[in-house]
Amino acid sequence: MSDFIALDLPLVLLSNRGPVSFDRDATGRTVGRGAGGLVSALSGLAEHLDDAVWVCGAASEEDTVVAGENAGSSILVQTHPQPHLVDGEPEGPAIRVRLVVTDPAAYADFYSVWSNPILWFIQHGLYGRSLSPVLTRAEHDAFENGYAAVNRAYADAVVSEVRSRGGKALVLLQDYHFYLVADWVREQCPDVVLTHFVHIPWPGPDEWRILPGDIRERLLRGLLGSDVVGFHTRRYARNFVLCAAELLGLPADLDKLTVTVGDRVVRARYYPISVDPAALDATQASEEVAAHVAMLRYLFLDDDRQLLLRVDRTDPSKNVVRGFLAFGTLLDQHPELVGRVSFLALLQPSRTDVPEYADYIALIGGVVAEINARHTKEGRQPIDLRMVEDFPLAVAAYSICDVLIVNAIADGMNLVAKEVAVVNRRGGVLALSEMAGAHEELGEFAVTLQPFDVQQMADAFYTALTMPIGERHRRLAAAADQVRTHDVRRWLDDQIVDLRRIAGFI
């Protein structure tokens, strides 16, 4: 990546999962690095700065031990060539980390009651409202003793890091785990310049009305402690401003996307997150991916056959069941495709402790069996369902698929679509839900899916499979160009430019 821009102020990052994690093996303490585009982009930024710190949760037992050894202060981890704790001056790129330890029961209420079921369900529109949620005293208590208590602990750590840097810093908060932090940090450190970035969809006021009035008000007021509330798309930012107007009665401008809170103006902005193309290129060039490509070609692409692909967590928001129903409809209505088109689904089981998620996996298995029973021809099953998390296998499949299917009913961004745009070498067509954030950027190069409409999706799959190859390559090249020129570094740089402007440095 190119050089990072100057910040002029110290940087304090906050996310639930951090850039490093500690463990133990026979040789003693080990240090691992976090994965994913977000962590690598933020890590790159933090490594580059002398005065940055990353506040995150102690996720492992050994994290908690390390945090205890450095109670109330940050640690320095050299990240290259081999990650290790540093005492004194590092001899390579390093990140300063502040590990926050919270009570396990409080953390469970924070994470497994509020963040992942309730907030995730609200923000992805997953509740069947006639029957769920049923909010009781237990949920109220879990908010107070869990979500709010854990937010307070993280906010205290952020405040302590800001204060030790003179009380003025750029603060970047991440995601739906920490909606109460910004307001508390601003109260203690009024000179911070702060962005809270929300990585998942932000629905309109009606969806938020599912939550108790006092809780939805606290969540919104918490976020409004920010200078900028960042989202992936204009629609989410617009919905946020609408919530502030309708649920809090605050003066709001739906065109400028601003909310007035006392004498402050809070801006809702959209910065579409993206991928790290160089890292993807490197993975694609690996021998492991080459081996997978050869295997997948052998299984799915002899004799001019075609391959549809999906790569998702088994989250109900990903809409896997209707995706398969649409594929079944495609084969019903175009029998000439039976035996000539395969659908490879690489699904990573997710949150199987949540009943809706476990039930959803069973439904997926059921619909796959039913379609395979109906349409297997000459020993070839049309759907190959693999419950795996294997990134090199996914990259191999990305590179040779004819159609990528992203049919989420709600998805903050969806990075799989962007990964395929960068990696595919076959003129792969993106079949992209209008409800995925990525559709705002890539929709014009994609075949649009309407995720509740099985017939529309079946028709769209057919359009994608029969699109002339020149058109396929033209669209893919345009999508790849969009992603490569709007990578994850740009996502980060745009936010920092806005914060430096607010701080008066530009």
Among residues 455, 479, 354, which one has the least CA distance to residue 404?
A: 479
Ranges assigned E (strand) in 232-289: 252-253, 258-261, 264-270
Distance CA 400, CA 109 (A): 43
Closer to a copy of itself by CB, 70 or 456: give it.
Answer: 456
Pick between residue 178 and residue 208 the one whose CB is nearest to a copy of itself. 208
Terminal alpha carbon distance of the chain: 23
Select the residue interacting with a copy of itself from 24, 29, 80, 129 (CB under 8 A). Answer: 129
- Of the two residues 404 and 408, which places its CB atom closer to a copy of itself in the complex? 408
Residues 297-336 interacting with a copy of itself (rule: CB under 8 A): 316-317, 319, 321-322, 325, 329
CA atoms of 453 and 274, how far apart (whole Å): 28
Is 140 an interacting residue with respect to a copy of itself (CB under 8 A)? yes
Q: What is the DSSP string of 379-406?
A: TB-SEEEE----HHHHHHHHHH-SEEEE
422 binds a copy of itself (CB under 8 A): no
Return the amino acid letter for 310: R
Phi/psi region, residue 378 (left: phi>0; alpha: psi -120 to 50; beta: rest), is left
In the complex, least distance from residue 387 CB atom to a copy of itself, rounded to whole angstroms: 18
Of 153-161, 218-226, 287-295, 453-461, which segment contacts a copy of itself by CB under 8 A? 453-461
Instruction: Please say which residue, 203 or 272, places its beta carbon nearer to a copy of itself.
Output: 203
Ramachandran category for residue 125: left, alpha or beta (phi over 0 → left; psi -120 to 50 → alpha): left
Residue 59 or 210: the one with the smaller Cβ distance to a copy of itself is: 210
Residue of 40, 73, 68 lying closest to 55 (CA atoms): 73
Contact between 233 and a copy of itself per CB under 8 A:
no
Contact 324, 371 (CB under 8 A): yes
Report the nearest approach of a copy of itself to the CB of residue 403 (Å): 20
Site membership for a copy of itself, residue 352 (CB under 8 A) = no
Binding test (CB under 8 A) with a copy of itself, winner from 134, 287, 302, 468: 134
Binding mask 353-372 for a copy of itself (x = CB under 8 A): ---x---x--x---------
Check binding of 271 to a copy of itself (CB under 8 A): no
Q: Does 261 bind a copy of itself (CB under 8 A)?
A: no
Residue 169, CA distances (Å) to 11, 203, 214 in order: 6, 30, 30
Q: Min. distance of Cβ 433 from a copy of itself in angstroms?
A: 10
Q: How far apart are CA 120 and CA 177, in angstroms?
A: 10
Binding site for a copy of itself (CB under 8 A): 125-137, 139-140, 203-207, 209-213, 235, 239, 242, 246, 254, 316-317, 319, 321-322, 325, 329, 356, 360, 363, 409-410, 434-435, 450, 452-456
